[in-house]
Amino acid sequence: MQQKLEKGVAHSLNIHGYSFQYAVLKAANIYFNESRSPWAFEVSEFPVAVNDSSTHIDFILRNKNEPFYFIGECKRADPALSNWCFIKAPYVSRNISSGERIVREVVCLDPGDKNSQPKIGLDWIERSKDIYRLAFEVKSEGKGNGKFGRGQINEATTQVLRGLNGLINFFVAHFEKNKRLALGRYTRSYSRVAFMPVIFTTAKLWVSDIDLSTADLENGNIDVSVIQLEPKDWVFYHHNQSPNIKHSFGDLEEIEGLSDALYLDYTRSIPIVSSTGIQSFLSDNFWDFPEDWNFYQLTK
């Protein structure tokens, strides 16, 4: 009886992803303690709310170089659909010609102004052609566990963005209550905090640079012979978040077109990291130089 119960407990822990979540945290902690990563464990299962919807963030990592937080969401992929494939979108915006910007969201405050209100903005670090916008789960040889299925990527993306926006709500509410942001000073004389959502998964990640616009207009199909998949340890995924999971802060009255609205209000960069890519992701030089990020203010 006890052995059957123990097996049931192990099954529940595994299928709900708790085992994977804490294994990822352990790995991140080891890399930080060994100085292979600037990302320190901050807290797990942090409760947040956005638009009357409550959730818990799996865990939050903080960069040792600045107040910069990773909002971590762990997704144990269904073994039957454990290949996640990412494709570039050939048309995103008429204003984009040299690649999309990698962005993180920012809350900041001018400490020299006693009447200053929190400002919401975006930091961007560079343009990259290696950003993917289309994502699919593809069948593998594993046997499904009956709980998950297609839509795993969308589910994880929605959850991590809900956590991102809920944490921004938390920081703004903290200021309104305490008249200061819950963070330290920054080199530009602003008190500020930056956020980026990250998905960690057991899935294998694949990318293709296939140009979807070459599809046959008569039948709408792409030639399978031109799809060449390449394995990746982690990828940058751009997702346009839905208004119902977004925080309510921001002022886009001066936008010049729908492209501005798409990028400033909705598009967010989400690194998706496989279990084999945790160290290379956390130790990437993207995260070592805070001064390399460029600030774009959304609120006045």
- Would you say residue 228 lies in a domain? yes
DSSP 185: B
Average pLDDT over residues 16-41: 91
pLDDT greater at residue 239 or residue 11: 239
pLDDT greater at residue 262 or residue 109: 262
Q: How confident is the model at residue 147 (pLDDT cuts 50, 70, 90)?
A: very low
- Would you say residue 218 lies in a domain? no
pLDDT greater at residue 197 or residue 127: 197
Domain count of the fold of the chain: 1
Residues 152 and 75 sit within 8 Å (Cβ to Cβ) = yes
List the structure tokens of 275: 């279990």
CA atoms within 13 A on the CB side of 261: 9
Residues 124 and 294 sit within 8 Å (Cβ to Cβ) = yes
- Would you say residue 112 lies in a domain? yes
Q: How confident is the model at residue 254 (pLDDT cuts 50, 70, 90)?
A: low
From residue 69, how far is each of 47, 65, 224 by CA, in Å? 15, 11, 40
- Would you say residue 88 lies in a domain? yes
Q: What is the pLDDT of residues 76-107, one digit of tens each?
A: 988 888 899 999 888 777 766 667 888 999 88
- Would you say residue 130 lies in a domain? yes
Using DSSP bridges, classify how beta strands 191-201 and 294-297 pair: parallel, antiparallel or unpaired. unpaired
Q: Which of 104-118, 161-175, 202-216, 272-286 has the lowest mean pLDDT?
A: 104-118
**Domain that residue 241 falls in:** 2-93+102-213+223-297
pLDDT greater at residue 234 or residue 12: 234
Average pLDDT over residues 167-182: 78
Q: What is the pLDDT of residues 183-221, one digit of tens each?
A: 555 455 557 789 999 999 999 999 998 888 878 788 878
123 has pLDDT over 90: no
17 has pLDDT over 50: yes
Residues 35 and 44 sit within 8 Å (Cβ to Cβ) = no
Q: How confident is the model at residue 6 (pLDDT cuts 50, 70, 90)?
A: very low
8 has pLDDT over 60: no
213: left (phi over 0), alpha (psi -120 to 50) or beta: alpha
- Would you say residue 254 lies in a domain? yes
Average pLDDT over residues 71-75: 96
pLDDT greater at residue 175 or residue 9: 175
Q: Residue 244 is inside which H or E element, if any?
A: none
146 has pLDDT over 50: no
Average pLDDT over residues 119-135: 85
Q: How confident is the model at residue 66 (pLDDT cuts 50, 70, 90)?
A: confident
Entry field: residues in the chain: 300
Closest of 58, 152, 163, 47 to residue 105, by C-alpha:
163
Residues 81 and 152 sit within 8 Å (Cβ to Cβ) = yes
